[in-house]
Structure 1
């Protein structure tokens, strides 16, 4: 009888806490929590069968750079976006600064000041387009005589369909100059990225028209909109919905123009940046493995709200203390509380998929060694395969598999 009473009391207290958090305006603000479910993970058989074709990788520039998120090879140099607000290029095993976004800051815990370039893309004229999570979308000249000159295309104060961008992430440029990009979440910054795991998605796929300098929302309410890539004939674009383990297809022309559909779902991990192979297929690195408990809580919005609110309260307290008694510990703590880098979801497995234009997985490459993991982007350079990650303090490289 005593155990039953204790159980009932605990249930009542928990329900009261849920009710209190639901009605009191605590962070995260402007977020909603509804029930949803993800497609079951595809079995690791056939083209998805595990192998060790990516084992034997090496770590380059360990502790010399942090978070090589976006990678691109151009005219003999490998370009990368990294923490600290920098895009760099690597030539003859040397790191050379190309352009700096943001302002001077005291450390990476102030990335909202430093700047954090994520996706990058070279157009056919040799300009590099960069999405910075805190400062917007830029077009950068990398010509030796004008190195680092940049033009801001989209600022963080531009109102697009009633909302300013909050987390610019990935970018791709069409042959007509149109720029397609993702705003991963309309309510949360990158340093609060962990909240996006629990709240309803507000990510967007957008198009920037260089002639009118206007943005159009093509898709919205995505659960962390991430990588984008155009099809070979540019008849459609695909966009990764990272936290739902799926990729969408948006038609740009033809009878289905301006409509979208699921390109592929049920992926065995979270898709990040996307790249075409030049032959009609797409490379899809999986940055995270699927977690059983994350599959469960999608069906329990109150539990997701509780976790998000508790994170928000911790964040709020640290920032409040710092506002009265400025100190590095509260700044670092507030940064840590909501950042993806503090999440328990890190993957030890390395996986890259190849998906054809019909949304069918045709090949996959893996490594379970843990030497290189949490990969978000790839770049093929000759017989080498370079591997980027927002979390790693090195650049990964491995021999390009013969069937890659």
Structure 2
């Protein structure tokens, strides 16, 4: 049975139910809203991983390897969505700095995170925060000390490198997505990094063989523990940071 995709966009969820805040942008439906962060003034910054492919077709985005991602802003006062950046490489996690003077957003297929300045002389400008990460950055969360936790997807492998050298292989895997899952290392290990405000890695935590968790997409620090979310597990991981 084929997947049924319900394209909603940016949602507000509370005790009264679900409200759609933004389902379209510039006349086009928001196909793949990914991550959102709220600023203290009520503004919502959110990523669109791909304007071409939806959630269940994410593998087609990586096979095509073209920048279809966006970074958008929703103004709740004006009920208006505006574009901050376009042409991004699978825009994923979004986090605000401690002083809310810049955003950090993840480009999964480019193995990097970038800063988008919200205040000061550099307002509206973009710069690289960290690049050449040892995995594709998924979600990013602000830590209590002002650093950032980034969950990494294991996308690099010799098998995948070969795929990107052959259009025939790409078309074949696009037609048979189960094969893409079999050769993809994303399901075999877990990795997260803690990155300082200067873009340097403070520490890296791994489950290299996926014995406890794999396909970890989120890491959130709370009261000296790191909480881990995975798309391949039916539980939330909890790791005491004082012991690592």
Q: Does 1:112 align with 2:39?
A: no
Alignment match of 2:8 (pick from 135, 154, 164): 135
Instruction: Calculate the TM-score normalised by the size of structure 1.
Output: 0.55
Structure 2 distance, partners of 1:339, 1:224, is 21
Shift of 1:401: 2.4
Q: For residues 141-180 of structure 1, what are the structure 2 equivalents within 5 Å?
A: 141=14, 147-155=15-23, 158-160=24-26, 163-180=28-45
Return the offset for 1:242: 0.5
Is the 8 Å Cα contact of residues 8 and 30 (structure 2) preserved in structure 1? Answer: no
Structure 2 length-normalised TM: 0.88
Structure 1 residues 316-327: aligned runs within 5 Å: none
CA deviations 1:279-311 (Å, max 9, x no partner) are 11000111224223444665x4xx2x4344345
From the two aligned structures, give the one with the greater helix fraction.
1
Residue 230 of structure 2 is matched in structure 1 by 389
Task: Give the length in aligned residue pairs.
Answer: 242
Q: Give the 5 Å matches for 1:13-32.
A: none
- C-alpha distance in 1 between matches for 2:179 and 2:115: 29
Alpha-carbon distance in structure 1 between the residues aligned to 2:71 and 2:180: 21
**Is 1:375 the equivalent of 2:221?**
no
Query: How far is 1:363 from its partner?
Result: 1.5
Is the 2:146–2:196 Cα contact (8 Å) retained in structure 1? yes
Deviation digits for residues 214-262 of structure 1 (CA, Å, limit 9, x no counterpart): 1111111112110000000011001100111110111111111111011
Give structure 1 stretches of 5+ with no counterpart: 1-106, 114-133, 142-146, 315-335
| Contact 1:353–1:361, Cα closer than 8 Å, also in 2 | yes
Aligned match of 1:237 in 94, 103, 111? 103
- Quote the residue 1:93 is aligned against: none
Question: 1:401 and 1:179, CA in 2 relative to 1: closer, same or farther beyond 3 A?
Answer: same
How big is each residue's C-alpha offset from its partner over 1:19-54, in whole Å with a ceiling of 9 and x where there is no partner?
Answer: xxxxxxxxxxxxxxxxxxxxxxxxxxxxxxxxxxxx
Tell me what 1:191 maps to.
56
SS at match of 2:198: coil
Structure 2 residue aligned with 1:254, among 112, 120, 138?
120
Whole-Å separation in 2 of the counterparts to 1:359 and 1:235: 16
Does the residue aligned with 1:395 lie in a helix, a strand or coil? coil
Distance of aligned partners of 1:339 and 1:393 in 2 relative to their CA distance in 1, 3 Å threshold: farther
- Structure 2: runs of 5+ lacking an equivalent: none
Which structure exhibits the higher relative contact order, with contacts defined as CA atoms closer than 8 Å and separated by 6 or more residues?
1
SS of corresponding position for 2:186: coil
Alignment of 1:311-390 (within 5 A): 311-312=173-174, 314=175, 337=177, 344-370=184-210, 371-382=212-223, 384-390=225-231
Displacement of 1:188 in angstroms is 0.7
Q: Of Structure 1 and Structure 2, which has the larger fraction of its residues in strand?
A: 2
| Counterparts of residues 29-44 of structure 1 (less than 5 Å) | none
Determine if the alignment matches structure 1 residue 225 to structure 2 residue 91. yes
> How many angstroms does 1:212 deviate by?
1.4
State the secondary structure of the residue aligned to 1:268.
Answer: coil
Give RMSD over aligned pairs: 2.5
- Larger gyration radius, structure 1 or structure 2: 1
Q: 1:152 to 1:258 in 2, by over 3 A?
A: same
Cα 1:150–1:209, aligned 2, differ >3 Å: closer, same or farther? same
- 1: CA distance, partners of 2:201 / 2:207: 18
How far, CA to CA, are the matches of 1:340 and 1:396 in structure 2? 26
